[in-house]
Chain A
Amino acid sequence: MTINELLFLVFAFGLIAWFVGRARAASFISSETPIINSLPNYHGWFATLWAIVPPILFLIVWINISPALITNMVLANPDAASITADSFSRSAILSEARAVANGSSQALFQEGSEKLVPLYKAAQSYYDSIAFAATLLLIFAGGTYAYTRLKPDFRARTNVEKVVMFALLLASLIAVLTTVGIVASLVFEAYRFVTLVSPFEFLFGTNWNPRDTIVAGEDNGYGAIPLFWGTIFIGAIIAMIVAIPFGLMSAIFLTQYSTPMFRSWMKPILEILAGVPTVVYGYFAALTVAPAVRDFAVMIGFSNAASDNAMAAGVVMGIMIIPLVASMADDSIAAVPGAMRDGSLAMGATKSETIKHILLPAALPGVVGGILLAVSRAIGETMIVVMAAGYAANLTANPFASITTVTVQIVALLTGDQDFGSPHTLAAFALGLVLFIVTLLLNLVALHIVKKYREAYE
């Protein structure tokens, strides 16, 4: 029996257990005990959970260990002793024989695999029957145990509640555990990188031109300063010069000046802007904005302006960030109590004086938090800079020059044929770790500021 069939079996018995448990509970209700502790449905669920959870846990483990058990059994057979000892072709022969044996492949290509097919079939059916027996045993053991516990005063309701809580906890832990796993892999690979290249060169070196082979004591071209500068220049400077004023002003307009009608149109449109895939922004930047910026730069006298330039990427990224800044600023301004605004207007202040002197100072922490979140988003952004900013690691403040960022270089280091242990690949992990730490810190600071500010008005 395959795993799917076994699962079907488990759920079928789970359904039966539900009806049995429910019927048993219903039979408790009589004229002497008109009320039992939990509704019959809860007894049913209790029985079902006991009938299905142990076999499902068993099957999860089984999926992971059964292939190894089967292979071991095959190899233990004297007929299998003759196959080659070379590990690569050995594993190819074994996997082919297994594929034919379980029907997912038709033909045999590897020498010597044909005599393994019946062995695989035999081992497979042997372990299949073990799995089938174990599953049935667990279903009945669990179901019987649950059945014996059902009593009129049994608290099935609270027991089911505990299982529900556990399931919810498990679901919420998945995201956390994944993050921990990602961070762990980043740290591990970054550590391997710093054993090859000195961290001092990586963090403070200004020459980015990564070599394939590392020579100790020489400049191997792993100085990431131009990358860090490029990231800050595009994401935190040019993009913010665009996003902050426009985002803030649109938020002020939407909260203070626009009619409800206009606002109800404008907000969804801003949200659409936030939902445009970044790759679309990327080719807009590369094909439309970058050439225009270059022509403009040449016109005003920058004859060396590149067609993939920091300006185009930064401006388009800023446009992408506008909705984020606007929405955060909108929330913070709207959160300032209306009484503040009324108080200022009643003093004879104009609308713009009220905004400048009362609303913006009161909303400032929230606005700053929003801007930090926007910066963290911008420096982690990849597609726009990959398409529009270029790959040249220039350490320059000229916005019309080609410039590169951390994310662009991670893409460049990982694309193409790369050995996993090469310094190129490991450098990508180190860059990723730096980026992760910076965005994490920005997010923490931003959330702290926003939270503190919210408390002030509650």
Chain B
Amino acid sequence: MAEQNSQSDTSDDGTDAHKITARNVNVFYDDKQAIDDVSIDVDMENVTAFIGPSGCGKSTFLRTINRMNDTIPSARVEGEIKLDGKDIYDPSMDVVQLRARVGMVFQKPNPFPKSIYDNIAYGPNIHGLAANKAELDIIVERSLQRAGLWNEVKDRLSDSGTALSGGQQQRLCIARAIAVDPEVILMDEPCSALDPIATAKIEELIHELRGKYAIIIVTHNMQQAARVSQRTAFFHLGNLVEFGVTSDIFTNPQKTRTQDYITGRYG
């Protein structure tokens, strides 16, 4: 932990060192403000956890990072979110390319009603990542392997993705997100619909993936945040209350609101 601490300290000095920098972000649904003046930095090879009670805005904020909020007509975003120093809300930003670089895994596993193979091949196909079938096969195998699903499904790639168990479906969705070679993976409560064994597998997977991506995970489960993340952001009522190294947040919170939440006084 101490080592990571010093790493993030040094990277704070350079302006372009952060993968994502959000500054003074406000999000509104019509007139209702869901996110109030949030600024946050996310680094590569790091897992950042967003915690907080229901309705605190953590999922809303997560969805601003790959502009999934665009699909909600009433949502409006103010402020600045930069990916590699480039504003993602700039009119010149290609949303389609942005989402290929910032993948997302949803709360409820949502495999497409296609075969396991086609579920993975979908992204590479629409983005033209494979020149031929052989290359596509390689991408599919590599993605499934990285998601720790290859051994379980390699003999039934043509079965429907919806026929898998819940935990396998969620790993399929992670494999699907990996297949387009993103830089950031957003996870919106990825384990809330899963049993403890499937959850443990996903957490293990997050540990392994950490080395290649910047991962942001929204979770209700504070133990999970403590287990998988290096940095933790605590949201409450649309505000970012506290953001720091995970061990500090959990052992030595600076704000009383954080402490009350972590010790189970509310939430």
Contact = CB atoms under 8 A, between A and B. Distances in A.
Interface of A: 259-260, 337, 339-350, 353, 357-358, 361-362, 456
B191 interface: no
A263 to B, nearest CB: 12
A357 B176 CA distance: 15
Given A259-B73, A339-B106, A342-B68, A347 B113 contact: no
**9 tightest A-B CB contacts, nearest first:** A348-B100, A339-B110, A348-B99, A346-B104, A343-B110, A347-B123, A348-B96, A349-B126, A362-B113
Contacts of A343: 106, 110-112, 173, 176
A151 B96 CA distance: 78
Interface in B168-184: 173, 176-177, 180
Given A340-B110, A346-B103, 17 more contacts: A337-B110, A339-B106, A339-B108, A339-B110, A340-B113, A341-B71, A342-B110, A343-B110, A343-B173, A346-B99, A346-B177, A347-B100, A348-B127, A349-B122, A350-B96, A362-B112, A456-B113
B71 A342 contact: yes
Contacts of B180: 347-348
Contact of B122 (A259, A344, A456): A344
Contacts of A339: 106, 108, 110
B181 to A, nearest CB: 11
A347 B99 contact: yes
A340 B108 CA distance: 11
Q: Secondary structure of the A side of the interface?
A: helix
Interface in B123-176: 123, 126-127, 173, 176
A420 B122 CA distance: 64
Contacts of B66: 346
A349 B68 CA distance: 12
11 contacts: A259-B73, A339-B108, A339-B110, A340-B112, A340-B113, A343-B176, A347-B180, A348-B96, A348-B98, A348-B99, A348-B180
A353 B99 CA distance: 14
Q: Output the residue of A344, A347, A361 with the most chain B CB within 10 A.
A: A347
Nearest to B110: A339
Nearest to A350: B96
A147 to B, nearest CB: 63
Contacts, number: 65
A337 B109 CA distance: 12
A353 B125 CA distance: 11
* Chain B CB within 10 A, most for which of A343, A345, A348, A456: A348
B19 interface: no
B68 A345 contact: yes
Contacts of B111: 343
A442 to B, nearest CB: 26
A347 B73 contact: no
A252 to B, nearest CB: 16
A261 to B, nearest CB: 10
Nearest to A261: B73
Nearest to A347: B123
Nearest to A336: B113
Contacts of B101: 348
A378 to B, nearest CB: 30
B106 A357 contact: no
B112 A358 contact: yes
B126 A357 contact: yes
Contacts of B68: 342, 345-346
Nearest to A353: B126
Contacts of A345: 68, 71, 99
Contact of B126 (A259, A342, A348, A456): A348
Contacts of A362: 112-113
Contacts of A341: 71
B114 interface: yes
A260 B73 contact: yes
